DNA sequence: GGTCGCATGTAAACTGTTACATGATTTT
DNA sequence: AAAATCATGTAACAGTTTACATGCGACC
């Protein structure tokens, strides 16, 4: 079974919010979906071309802010139905990889102090991410969107907050247990 | 900056437990690290060849159980120091992708009932994974390993349990909030 | 004069996944 | 007789990431 390319749906999703250029999509993702979905420019440009060829998006060129042209893409009816179809469909399972856990699994191969340090660093980065989520929630208050739209944006942020909190709790618990070990 | 291939370290890690063949490594991972790390055979065989060329592992051939030969790889001193170096090093940030959250983010584009159903299905798969972890903890009691080794194996499983519990709690919370919405 | 932001893209390398290919033994 | 397990691997493709390339305007 072939893997279906999800980049196209991420792009269609963004364009369902409002028409955007490739550059804008990148910045939009950076500000909203970056903690669960991010695309590289090298994927965005060819994906938009393909979506345009397939009539999922239309394209309008306008003067760029500083120089040259800017290609604004807009989702078509065909694109919208493709997006809806994907939204409703169930996800194919994907393999999740966590390098930190992989190292931890082999943690007995090195001195305990290294793993204590590793968990500490990991906890610190989790806290930073958690702060970012709390900032995103604050930001959301000042954004003008429909109640329904707001609900789903907030749901993804709450997901991030709950996950990070659980992971941070695990870090503390594990550090405490490590101290008792040996 | 070049990405470092982590497959080789996952393999070296497995071989630090005991000498294994490619086939055994796959089954070992399936039984232990599968929920945070998994490799395909098509990656394992060439990776082992490369590790052998680089003198990180040695190879001994023996009669296979059923037919042909079986190549048993053993980590060398050089391989051990490479593994240790990687274990201590900090992780490069990698992009995490979650198709479920991506869909949820655009959830306002479809009728609420579809997203309710989606969260329900997601919660069910999380519960199943949680049961698997609890089973892994049980299994761990009957495995003979050092106290330190056991600690780190258990830590990765506890991580899984805590994460899944938090996600399940999020599902319930979000379902309840969805009911109130409109 | 150099860097940053806006804005487009291409090329190459690498990684990951699926499918294919082989062959013996054991179980259903 | 067919399917599963043990055991090796290759080929082809799809997807991801890095680096490169271009050019203007604004700011320091």
Lowest-pLDDT range of A28-37, A47-56, B2-11, B20-29: B2-11
d(CA B57, CA B75): 4
CA distance A81 to B130: 35
Residue A64 has pLDDT above 80, yes or no: no
Q: Would you call B166 and A170 a contact, using CB atoms and an 8 Å cutoff?
A: no
Report residue A1's pLDDT band, with 50, 70 and 90 as the boundaries.
very low
Distance in Å from D17's C1' to A101's CA comes to: 23
CA of B27 to C1' of C25 (A): 19
d(CA B74, CA B21): 9
Does residue A3 lie within 7 Å of nucleic acid chain D, judged by its CB?
yes
Is strand D within 7 Å of residue A94 (CB)?
Answer: no
Nearest CA in chain A to B116: A88
Residue B45 approaches strand D within 7 Å at CB: yes
Cross-strand pairs, A74: A58
Confidence label for B2 from pLDDT (cuts 50, 70 and 90): low
Taking C1' of D5 and every protein CA, the nearest residue is B66
What pTM was estimated for this model as a whole?
0.94
Q: In sequence order, what are the beta bridge partners of A57?
A: A75
Q: In this structure, are residues A15 and A75 in contact, taking their beta carbons and an 8 Å threshold?
A: yes
* C-beta atoms of A115 and B152 within 8 A: yes
First to last CA, chain A: 49
Q: Write down the mean pLDDT value for chain A.
A: 94
Measured distance CA(B164)–CA(B76) in Å, rounded: 37
Q: Are strands B69-75 and B57-63 parallel, antiparallel or unpaired?
A: antiparallel
Count the helices and strands in chain B (H runs, E runs): 7, 2
**Do residues A75 and A16 make contact, with C-beta atoms less than 8 angstroms apart?**
yes
Q: Which residue is nearest to nucleotide C25 (CA to C1')?
A: B66
Looking at beta carbons, which residues of chain A come within 8 Å of B99? 6, 91, 94
Beta-bridged to residue B60, according to DSSP, are B72
- How do residues A67-112 score in pLDDT, each as one tens digit? 788 999 999 999 999 999 999 999 988 889 999 999 999 999 999 9
Query: B172 pLDDT exceeds 60?
Result: yes
Does strand D come within 7 Å of the CB of B29?
no
With CB atoms and an 8 Å threshold, state whether A87 touches B101: no
Q: Are B84 and A135 in contact (CB under 8 A)?
A: no
pLDDT for B94 equals 87
Contacts with B143 (C-beta within 8 Å, 6 or more apart), sequence order: B150
pLDDT tens for residues B26-79?
A: 999 999 999 999 999 999 999 999 999 999 999 999 887 777 889 999 999 999
**Distance, CA of A88 to CA of A82 (rounded, Å):** 10
Is 90 exceeded by the pLDDT of residue A4?
A: no
Q: How many CB atoms lie within 10 A of CB A174?
A: 24
Task: Give the tokens for residue A99.
Answer: 């390098």
Indicate if the alpha-carbon torsion angle A160, A163, A169, A171 is positive or negative: negative
| B68 CA → D8 C1’, Å | 9
Whether residue B107 and residue A155 make contact (CB cut-off 8 A), yes or no, is yes
- Tell me what the pLDDT averaged over chain B comes to: 94
CA distance B113 to B107: 10
- Chain C bases near protein Cβ (<7 Å): 5-12, 14-19, 23-26
CB-contacted nucleotides of strand D (7 Å)? 5-12, 14-19, 23-26
What phi and psi, each to the nearest 5 degrees, are found at residue B70? -130, 125
Chain A residue numbers touching B88 (CB-CB < 8 A)? 110, 114, 118
Tokens 């594990």 locate to A174
**Is B98 near strand D, with its CB below 7 A from some atom of it?**
no
Mutate which of A34, A109, A116 to test chain B, going by most B C-beta atoms within 10 A? A109
Quickly give B158 CA vs C23 C1' distance in Å.
42
Rounded to whole angstroms, how far apart are CA atoms A138 and A131?
11
Residue B77 burial (C-beta neighbours within 10 Å; 0-12, 13-18, 19+): exposed
Interval B103-117: pLDDT, tens = 999 999 999 999 999
Share of residues in chain B with pLDDT > 70 (%): 98
Mapped onto helix, strand or coil, the DSSP state of residue A60 is: strand
Contacts 24+ apart (CB under 8 A), B158-163: B158/A170, B158/A173, B158/A174, B159/A101, B159/A104, B159/A167, B159/A170, B159/A174, B160/B35, B160/B36, B160/B129, B160/B133, B161/B130, B161/B133, B161/B134, B161/B137, B162/A166, B162/A167, B162/A169, B162/A170, B163/A163, B163/A166, B163/A167, B163/A170
Q: What is the DSSP letter of B182?
A: -
Q: B182 pLDDT band (50/70/90 cuts)?
A: confident
Contacts of B173 in chain A (CB under 8 A): 158, 162
């Amino acid at each position: 079974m072939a893997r279906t390319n999800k980049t196209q749906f991420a792009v269609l999703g963004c364009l369902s919010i409002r028409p955007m250029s490739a550059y804008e999509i990148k910045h939009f993702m950076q500000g909203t979906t970056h903690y669960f979905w991010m695309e590289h420019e090298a994927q965005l440009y060819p994906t938009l071309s393909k979506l345009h060829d397939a009539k999922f998006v239309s394209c309008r060129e306008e003067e760029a802010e500083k120089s040259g042209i800017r290609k604004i893409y807009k989702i078509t009816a065909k694109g919208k139905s493709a997006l809806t179809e994907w939204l409703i469909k169930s996800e194919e399972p994907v393999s999740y990889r966590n390098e930190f856990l992989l190292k931890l699994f082999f943690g007995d191969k090195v001195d305990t102090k290294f793993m204590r340090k590793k968990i500490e660093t990991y906890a610190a980065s989790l806290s930073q991410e958690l702060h970012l989520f709390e900032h995103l929630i604050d930001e959301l208050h000042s954004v003008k969107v429909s109640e329904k739209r707001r609900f789903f944006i907030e749901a993804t942020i709450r997901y991030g907050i709950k996950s990070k909190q659980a992971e941070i709790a695990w870090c503390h618990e594990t550090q405490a247990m490590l101290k008792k070990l040996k």
